[in-house]
Amino acid sequence: MDGRTIITAWIKRLKTHCYWPGHCVFCGQTSDTARDCCAACAQDLPLLQNACTACALPLNGPFASGVLCGACQKKHPIFDSAHAAWIYEEPVRSAIHRFKYDKQLAMGRALSELWLQQCTSISYQNIDALIPVPLHHSRERPRGFNQAALIAYDLAKHWRLPVLRASCQRIKATTEQKDLSAKQRRSNVRGAFKIKGVIPKRVAIVDDVMTSGSTANELARVLKRAGAQHVEVWALARAVYVDK
């Protein structure tokens, strides 16, 4: 490999994994904002506006804001509330896929920054620590990172909150949730997490996407058993889940 090839490969890697200042990570064009996302691409992201106050499920209707969805009225989740910036549909779906599976870490940082600008109503002052949803080592090792942890560190840096990554481990190698029914999802993650050490009273679980809420609910269950009194869920996006 000659010097020019090495430099070309290095630049490609830099563009993929790091910020390329002044350029939009979505379209690659020069950004017209102070962020690494141009105004047009930011406007294309489908905002989560009217949502259930407990599980953040998107709701329809002019009076849907600030109410519980039907499922949460029947049975409230173990976690106390959930927050997300966007609905999990295009182009958010592709952006998160590029972050997780194409290892475009710059995209993850841009999404975290945009999330902070959208979720301004969150009372972060009432949160003692952030806990990213852990990956099992069989999944994290080949990927090279835990996307939830990277998001948590970005949010924690902005709000000066501790990240308790070592306090929670995934001890069960669960199967992919996407093709499972709601009942199967709950069973799949049951007993998947183990808590180590002291857990603060008020924590926020951080993840990239919240779908049925089964993972967050199971993690909230073990966190409250370990001493947490208030558990929120902070996700980049909320999927509209239809039980199979």
Q: What is the 3-state secondary structure (H, E, C) of the chain?
A: CCHHHHHHHHHHHHHHHCCCCCECCCCCCECCCCCCCCHHHHHHCCECCCECCCCCCECCCCCCCCCCCHHHHHCCCCCCEEEEEEECCCCHHHHHHHHHCCCCHHHHHHHHHHHHHHCCCCCHHHCCEEEECCCCHHHHHHHCCCHHHHHHHHHHHHHCCCECHHHEEECCCCCCCCCCCHHHHHHHHCCCEEECCCCCCEEEEEEEEECCCHHHHHHHHHHHHCCCCEEEEEEEEECCCCCC
Q: How far apart are CA 45 and CA 23, in angstroms?
A: 17
Q: How far apart are CA 168 and CA 37, in angstroms?
A: 33
Domain region containing 9:
1-42
Q: pLDDT tens per residue, the chain (244 residues)? A: 455 654 554 445 444 445 555 789 999 888 777 678 899 999 999 999 889 999 999 988 665 667 899 999 999 999 999 999 999 999 999 999 999 999 999 999 999 999 999 999 899 999 999 999 999 999 899 999 999 999 999 999 999 999 999 999 999 887 777 667 778 888 778 888 999 989 999 999 999 999 999 999 999 999 999 999 999 999 999 998 766 5
Domain co-membership, 134 together with 159: yes
CA 157 to chain CA mean position, Å: 16
Domain co-membership, 32 together with 55: no
**Residue 217 within a domain:** yes
Domain co-membership, 37 together with 151: no
**Residue 155 within a domain:** yes
Domain co-membership, 119 together with 29: no
Domain co-membership, 120 together with 149: yes
User: How far is the CA of 56 from the CAs of 3, 48, 138, in angstroms?
Assistant: 51, 8, 30
Domain co-membership, 6 together with 124: no
Angle at 39 between CA 91 and CA 56, to 5 degrees: 50
Q: Residue 162 is part of a domain; what is its CATH number?
A: 3.40.50
* pLDDT at residue 2 in the model: 53
Name the pTM for this structure.
Answer: 0.87
At 33, list the tokens.
């904002």
* pLDDT at residue 98 in the model: 96
**Residue 134 within a domain:** yes
**Residue 244 within a domain:** no
* pLDDT at residue 17 in the model: 46
Domain co-membership, 173 together with 208: yes
* pLDDT at residue 217 in the model: 96
* pLDDT at residue 155 in the model: 97
* pLDDT at residue 84 in the model: 97
Number of domains composing the chain: 2
Domain co-membership, 54 together with 78: yes
Cβ atoms 202, 234 nearer than 8 A? no
**Residue 220 within a domain:** yes
Domain co-membership, 31 together with 62: no
What is the length of the chain?
244
**Residue 243 within a domain:** no
**Residue 8 within a domain:** yes
Domain co-membership, 213 together with 94: yes
b (16+ CB within 10 A) / e for 157-187: eeeebebbbebbbbeeebeeeeebebebbbe
Domain co-membership, 234 together with 146: yes
Domain co-membership, 207 together with 113: yes
